[in-house]
Amino acid sequence: ETGVTQTPRHLVMGMTNKKSLKCEQHLGHNAMYWYKQSAKKPLELMFVYSLEERVENNSVPSRFSPECPNSSHLFLHLHTLQPEDSALYLCASSQVAGGTDTQYFGPGTRLTVL
Amino acid sequence: AQSVTQLGSHVSVSEGALVLLRCNYSSSVPPYLFWYVQYPNQGLQLLLKYTSAATLVKGINGFEAEFKKSETSFHLTKPSAHMSDAAEYFCAVSDERGGGYNKLIFGAGTRLAVHP
């Protein structure tokens, strides 16, 4: 595998389910990001982990819970979601460089909440 | 706070025509600026970035962008559109907070259609 991978690519879940999204980066980067991409809205940054420490949490509801067990893996745990949480969830990674670093994105997980 | 405005949510051009996608930014500090492209069912891919070196930045697939401080603009151009350029394009400004990591503020995106 190369680059940034995400699994699953598609997920349909009920409002009472618990599921997890997985992201893995094969680039040796030290920062990882979760974004939400909804129709007709700009990409929303949800969480950032830099050197495995959460450094950004953009007022995301507690039904989204991130986990970064090491610099290569990032999870997003989901529980009791709402239909408005249906979106494309993108993971990205970068090598921290004072704001000039390029973020490399995975293909995303298309989430549908019924 | 930093912000990005992309003028035109949809742009349509003929194959072989000039592509011009507009981006204006607002930043309280000298900005770092990025253009990303998203093809259907894929994540975002970097086209080019401005990091305070040359104001005319060349990227992949024949795209380039010019940083104009006086106009607070970073428009993306390509001299001759190809069918494979049909995608959504995002302009972003970096909101680096001193923690080193790159917090990107994205525009709403411009969907480019290329017709024969």
Q: Which residue has the tokens 């999870």?
A: A75
pLDDT at B47 over 80: yes
Across the interface, whether the CB atoms of B104 and A101 are under 8 A apart is answered no
Q: Which residue has the tokens 């997980």?
A: A109
The percent of residues in chain B predicted with pLDDT above 90, rounded, is 77
Band (B101; pLDDT cuts 50, 70, 90): confident
- pLDDT digit string, tens, across residues B70-88: 999 999 999 999 999 999 9
pLDDT in the model for residue A21: 98
**Tokens, residue B38:** 């998203």
**Tokens, residue A80:** 């009791």
Contact A52, B99 (CB under 8 A): no
Which ranges constitute the DSSP H helices of A20-97?
none
Instruction: Lowest mean pLDDT of A59-63, B40-44, B94-98, name the range.
Output: B94-98
What residues have CB less than 8 Å from A59, skipping those under 6 apart? none
Contact A92, A33 (CB under 8 A): yes
The percent of residues in chain B predicted with pLDDT above 70, rounded, is 96
pLDDT at B113 over 60: yes
Q: Is B45 on the interface with A (CB under 8 A)?
A: yes
Mutation target to probe the B interface, by most B beta carbons within 10 A, among A25, A101, A109 is A101
Q: How deeply is B28 buried, as exposed, middle or buried, from its count of CB atoms within 10 A (0-12, 13-18, 19+)?
A: exposed
Q: Which residues of chain A have pLDDT under 70?
A: 1
Band (B6; pLDDT cuts 50, 70, 90): very high
pLDDT in the model for residue B63: 97
pLDDT in the model for residue B98: 60
Q: Is B28 on the interface with A (CB under 8 A)?
A: no
Band (B99; pLDDT cuts 50, 70, 90): low
pLDDT in the model for residue B100: 66
Q: What angle do CA B16, B20, B22 make, to 5 degrees?
A: 165
Across the interface, whether the CB atoms of B101 and A4 are under 8 A apart is answered no
Q: If you write DSSP's letter for every residue of A35-47 in order, what string do you get?
A: EEE-TTS--EEEE
Q: Is A39 on the interface with B (CB under 8 A)?
A: no
- Measured between alpha carbons, how far is B62 from B15 in angstroms, rounded to an integer? 14
